A and B are shown apart, each in its own frame.
Chain A
Amino acid sequence: MSTALVVGLGVVGVRAARQLVDTPGIERVLLADRNRGRARQLVEAFGAERADTVAFSPGDVLPEGVDVVATALPTGDDRPVVEQAIAQRVACASVDDDHDAIERLRLLHDRAETAGVTVAIGCGLAPGIADLLAKHAASTFDAIDEIRVARTGWAGEACAAAVRAARRGTAVEWAEGAWRRDQYHDDQLVWFPDPIGARDCRIVSGGVALLVDAFPDAARISTLLGEPPARRRWRRQFDEAGEWGAARVEVWGQRGTSRDVMVYGVIERTSVAAGTMLAVAAAHLVGALGTRVERPGVAGPAVLFEPVPLLGELAERGVRAAAFEGVPVG
């Protein structure tokens, strides 16, 4: 039985904590947030026998007895937590989906590998569940040549702001075995599972590096993000239960002599999908859901995890994936 520390109790962190409390192999969940009152409310809701608050801020020494850390902090804030986890040889999972934040965490790879610590990054909806679906789809091909991951949805205002910044910024694509940077202003129509349907999405940078780590032989890898609602001062910003989101994963490759495509998708409230993925990833790192996943270093879900067990666990927790059975047109 293990103890998990959840750092950051925003809309994603709360869902991750709930899922960890409901994981039989996790004996105790410690909750850390700068708002101690919020952490105490959650402990009351979860039950004091399984959860407890703890005074912990990024950069602090981890509380004694922690076996795995799940971070759901605002973009870029989780690096000191991951550094501390590596220093104390504790496995760690992060949900951060920002390109620069992911790159800063990837820089810790050698340190984590030397310390023998497994750090799972990009454990959200996309990157995250989408990476698992890409690996699952890739396993049906003899060889793959293109992966396109699209996401629409944001967990809260901070997440929506990060999406707006990503769509404004320079996009990084993997093209013909090399990085290509470009400034995209044109949206592409992407079909997500119903009822989300068609949404305008733009090529961005987030999560591409994690897919390239997992599929270095793919000729092209790109990620796209949908447009969040415009920021308005007086309107209600986000639904308390969380906004709906979706991911679509297209994998192109060779089967025998023919070229084919596999399209997978998932639809769920973004915070629920991301929080569940974060919790399931953290639980696997500590062996709370079967075999302990141990691969020292910093890596994304497609490198670390076998997709079928995780997709099964996610489905049991209500996050179900779907396959598109369509007719090529155009």
Chain B
Amino acid sequence: MRAFRRVLLVVGVAGLIGAFAKLRGKGGVPPTSGGWRELEGPEFR
């Protein structure tokens, strides 16, 4: 029973760390499919 509680605790802590790391990650995946369009107009957008 004690070992089972420890396993539960470890899994819970790992989940929390994982969720935090996901929230604080490097910022998603950059777009890698699509195309380039020359900036135009007075605002160069």
Contacts and interface: CB of A to CB of B under 8 A. Distances in A.
Contact of B34 (A307, A326, A330): A326
Contact of B44 (A193, A261, A312, A324): A312
A328 B28 contact: yes
Size class of the contact patch on chain B? 10 to 19
A56 interface: no
Given A308-B43, A325-B34, 5 more contacts: A315-B39, A321-B44, A326-B35, A327-B34, A330-B32
Given A145-B27, A146-B26, A323-B45, A311 B39 contact: yes
A261 B32 CA distance: 12
Interface residues of A, number: 32
Q: Which DSSP category, helix, strand, loop or mixed, fits chain A's interface?
A: strand
Interface of A: 136, 140, 145-146, 148, 191, 193-194, 220, 250, 252, 259, 261, 263-265, 307-308, 311-312, 315, 320-330
B38 A308 contact: no
Contact of A220 (B27, B30, B44, B45): B27
Contacts of B30: 148, 250, 261, 263, 328
A145 B37 CA distance: 24
Contact of B27 (A193, A252, A263, A330): A252
Contacts of B20: none
A329 B29 contact: yes
Nearest to B44: A311
Closest 9 CB pairs of A and B: A326-B34, A326-B31, A330-B29, A322-B36, A252-B27, A146-B27, A193-B36, A321-B39, A311-B44
Nearest to A260: B28
